Amino acid sequence: MTRFYRKTMQLSIRVGDWGWVFGWRAGLGVLYWRSQVPPEVMGIPGWVQLAERTVVMHRKILHLDLDAFFCAVEELRDPSLGGKPFAVGGRPDQRGVVASCSYAARRFGVRSAMAMAKAVRLCPELVVVSSHFGDYRDASRQAMTRVHNMTPLVEQISIDEAFLDVSDLPESGEALARRLQKAVNDELGLPCSLGVATNKLVAKIANNVGKSSVETDMPPNSIKVVPPGQEAVFLAPLPVRELWGVGPKTAERLEGIGIHTIGELARWPQADLVERFGKHGHDLARRAGGIDDRPVETGYEIKSISHEITFATDVSDGTALRRTLRQLSERVGRRLRRKGLGGITVKMKLRWADFTTLTRQATLDHATDLDSEICAAAEQLFDKTWPRGKKVRLLGVGVSRFAVCAYQLALWGDGDTEHDRRLQKTLDSLRERFGDEAVRRGSQLKPGNTD
């Protein structure tokens, strides 16, 4: 159970039967008000009262997840998809992957991240819909606006998922979850599920459990509440794999010593877990007991920016591969510039035809957001790793370890960088207007190539 103690300074004003409490929360400095004045304050005679109270509180955390999000947006575009087995993603004959699948499709065993070809084998009447990312981004933004209308304490963890800390709101966690669900359902036409608990770990698992308990062809649109004090009891019967931080490897090792459920893990001597798993053993024991003190992190930071591509057929031509590296570097560069970020580490990812995957990284001596610098580093890594003629299935480029870009530090910048930056800006604005393929640098064109 997650409890916290909080010293509050409260100024209460009472006029007849009406009263207001203004509280100053120590540490956070948030001014809040409540129209429901606690009885112990209402009982105090006098109009104005300044009191310091120490309050024991449970946190109230919501986990929101939009149900089969991409599919739900596609249903808004084309209502005839409603209730049908369909999947959003790449075409099965081009090694497409399922990005999202409707609940009707899930009944056939179709899952996201599955090869589309396999999905079609499992469900021959599956309708394959290509993705419309612009629409998903817009819908996500609108849903997150509803979330932020409830509280500023929001940690968005993906395009369709967020944690909310609603400890300061007077209503119950369940009432707040209902209110938020109704807003998303009614105003946006999107189904969503919520988990309610005293911490992030249990709220997220509660949501998973709530969703999977609904078995129809329609989105679950569920709400699952775990009351304060019931965390460990709720988790006990669930498989250890449900626990955050337990990947397939840890789960296998736990099952090897006879631990299958979270309850069994909670009962296992902690000293033994530490002996077997090191520091991680402590975390396992705490989480199994439903304890998680992690705050809702409002300043969610992007840690890396990357792009990758799986080729429709394996590629062994060096020129084509280098051209792809350049295109990927450009996309990464553009996203960095749009966000005002520069990165010091450049990563290159390669997957061979047999699915073996390698990543190689290089550290620059300065942060960059320039396509040319990102690409030069990626190409060097590629040249060191790729045996000429070897077939490549997937290629990726990424940048991480963000810092201030070198040109932002140098007052004048050296001539080359300055020139590159200006060229970059012009290219960005042209691509913004005419699309990715509209402009290419001369170095990217090969004789006879018109793309």
Q: Tell me the two tokens of residue 349.
A: 């990812």
Using the contact rule CB under 5 A, the part of the chain among 39-47, 66-74, 86-94, 312-320 near Mg ion is: 66-74
What is the nearest approach in angstroms of Mg ion to the Cβ of residue 98? 14
Other CB atoms within 10 Å distance of the CB of residue 147: 20
Q: Which residues of 80-115 are buried (b: 16+ CB within 10 A; e: fewer)?
A: ebeeebbbbbbebeebbbbbbbbbbbbebebebebe
Q: Give the amino acid at 177.
A: A
Helix axis angle for 318-339 and 415-434, nearest 10°, is: 90
Please list, in sequence order, all residues whose beta carbon lies within 8 angstroms of the beta carbon of residue 370, skipping any fewer than 6 positions away.
333, 417, 420, 421, 424
Using the contact rule CB under 5 A, the part of the chain among 69-77, 252-260, 296-304, 413-421 near Mg ion is: 69-77
What is the nearest approach in angstroms of Mg ion to the Cβ of residue 110? 15
What is the nearest approach in angstroms of Mg ion to the Cβ of residue 192? 8
Distance CA 230, CA 346 (A): 46
| DSSP labels, 211-267 | HHT--SSS----EEE--TT-HHHHHTTSBGGGSTT--HHHHHHHHHTT--BHHHHHH
Using the contact rule CB under 5 A, the part of the chain among 57-65, 132-140, 302-310, 422-430 near Mg ion is: 57-65
Find tokens 């290089």 and name the residue: 362
Of residues 49 and 221, the one with the C-beta less far from Mg ion: 221
What is the nearest approach in angstroms of Mg ion to the Cβ of residue 27? 33
Of residues 167 and 208, the one with the C-beta less far from Mg ion: 208
Of residues 184 and 288, the one with the C-beta less far from Mg ion: 184
CA dihedral for 421, 423, 425, 428, sign (positive or negative): negative
Distance CA 331, CA 337 (A): 10
**Of 52, 74, 161, 432, catalytic:** 161
Give the x-and-dash track for 77-106 against Mg ion (CB under 5 A).
------------------------------
Nearest residue to 230 via CA among 209, 212, 245:
209
What is the nearest approach in angstroms of Mg ion to the Cβ of residue 209? 15
Nearest residue to 104 via CA among 129, 87, 117:
87
For Mg ion (CB under 5 A), the number of binding residues is: 4
- Binding residues among 341-370 for Mg ion as defined by CB under 5 A: none
231 forms part of the interface with Mg ion (CB under 5 A): no
Of residues 160 and 371, the one with the C-beta less far from Mg ion: 160
Distance CA 83, CA 284 (A): 40
Helix axis angle for 133-150 and 69-77, nearest 10°, is: 110
Q: Give the amino acid at 46.
A: G
Of residues 69 and 407, the one with the C-beta less far from Mg ion: 69
Residue 161 bears catalytic tag:
yes
Of residues 184 and 350, the one with the C-beta less far from Mg ion: 184
- Choose which of 160, 231, 264, 330 interacts with Mg ion (CB under 5 A): 160
Using the contact rule CB under 5 A, the part of the chain among 86-94, 156-164, 316-324, 393-401 near Mg ion is: 156-164
Of residues 156 and 329, the one with the C-beta less far from Mg ion: 156
- Choose which of 61, 64, 65, 89 interacts with Mg ion (CB under 5 A): 65
Using the contact rule CB under 5 A, the part of the chain among 61-69, 327-335, 388-396, 422-430 near Mg ion is: 61-69
Footprint on this chain of Mg ion (rule: CB under 5 A): 65-66, 69, 160
Question: What are the residue numbers of the active site?
Answer: 161
